[in-house]
Amino acid sequence: MNHLNNFSGKLLSAFLALVDTGQFKIAAERCNVSQSAFSQMISRLEEQIGTKLFDRDTRHVSLTQEGRLLVPIARTVASDIQAMYDELHDYAEKRIGKVSIAALPSLSADWLPKIVADFRRLYPGIKLQLHDTVAEPNLELIRKGVVDFAINAVPYGSEEFDTEFLFDEPYYFICRADHEFAIRKSISLKELKGCRYIHTLRTGSLWRWIEPHVQNIEFNDTGFEVQQLSTLAGLIANGMGESLVPGFGLFQFHRLGLKAVLVNDRELLRPLFMVKRRGQTLSVAARSLLAMIAANPPQHVLPALKSKKS
């Protein structure tokens, strides 16, 4: 027989209250019930256990032998239940917990650190982990349960994953300060015909978003194809050509004195998503971190894009 189905924390509390007070009236007051209701609770507990727990008359209450056996067990169970509720309450109130996320390196280098630091200051008891990996490894971390969610640039709406749109980021034309377009505030893609183009890795997520929009533009191909934005910045700074990058990577280029000119073709935008395992409910702590991320888009995101819905 599964006695857990009959278990009641209220009956256990009533038993311990009567043990501690030795009087039905005082014990009933402690449990905030009438004396008759309290008496029924004790009778119901005895019925469920199958033996008397108290000997009582009009003036005295004393434990039976079985009642004395139950006291230490009851106190341990009551303590464990209280500890369970306290711990879960601490998780709900974000006093303790753990959050692990993955994000693209370009997001992890400049934008996310401030949000992570603010989250740590608000919730110092929560263990926080950040994995800076590219798109496909991010998904593998989700599959393995290593991270709660990832911030990714590709909307993986497969049976494995749920996605939530966060915001779009525009692309920028990166060039040296002596380039003819360096003084421009914005530029269209068609104006880039003939520029000395340095490709990002053609199997990477950056190229996936760019390629459909530039496939008909006649670039002067430099022959370079790089994976790291820091390498791209170095090549541009040394006069090897120009390129297109999303806004999250701008810090890599500003530090070398390069110019970033906004591409005003609104179809060339990189959407960023929260990605998690399909059907998984995020913890309270993870939801709080996600809310902070969504509420703090990077400065380069255009105002009209911040409120876009997926």
pLDDT attached to residue 200:
86
pLDDT attached to residue 310:
39
For the entire predicted model, the pTM comes to: 0.69
pLDDT attached to residue 306:
44
Give the DSSP per-residue string, 262-279.
EE--TT-EEEEEEEEETT
Q: What count of other Cβ atoms lies within 10 Å of the Cβ of residue 69?
A: 13
pLDDT attached to residue 190:
92
User: Do 3-92 and 97-166+270-306 show the same overall fold?
Assistant: no
CATH topology of domain 170-269: D-Maltodextrin-Binding Protein; domain 2 (3.40.190)
Tell me how far apart the alpha carbons of residues 230 and 246 are, in angstroms, rounded to a whole number: 14
Tell me how far apart the alpha carbons of residues 305 and 287 are, in angstroms, rounded to a whole number: 22
pLDDT attached to residue 2:
53
Tell me how far apart the alpha carbons of residues 308 and 157 are, in angstroms, rounded to a whole number: 18
Tell me how far apart the alpha carbons of residues 28 and 18 are, in angstroms, rounded to a whole number: 8
Select from 273, 215, 272 the least CA-distant residue to 244.
215
Question: Domain boundaries in the chain?
Answer: 3-92, 97-166+270-306, 170-269
Q: Tokens in use for 94?
A: 């974000």
Residue 74 near residue 9, CB atoms below 8 Å: no
φ and ψ at residue 217, rounded to 5 degrees: -90, 130
pLDDT attached to residue 157:
57
Our separate counts of H helices and E strands in the chain read 12, 12
Q: What is the CATH number of domain 97-166+270-306?
A: 3.40.190.10
Q: What is the CA radius of gyration of the chain?
A: 32
pLDDT attached to residue 248:
84
Q: Where are the alpha helices (DSSP H) in the chain?
A: 9-21, 24-30, 35-49, 65-92, 105-110, 112-122, 135-143, 205-214, 229-237, 250-254, 284-295, 303-306
Q: Tokens in use for 74?
A: 């009851």
pLDDT attached to residue 266:
81
Q: Tokens in use for 34?
A: 């009438």
CATH topology of domain 3-92: Arc Repressor Mutant, subunit A (1.10.10)
pLDDT attached to residue 91:
65
Q: What share of the chain is helix, strand, coil (3-state, %, to 5)?
A: 45, 25, 30
pLDDT attached to residue 210:
84
The ranges of the chain with pLDDT < 70 are 1-7, 58, 90-94, 96, 155-158, 203-204, 300-310
pLDDT attached to residue 247:
87
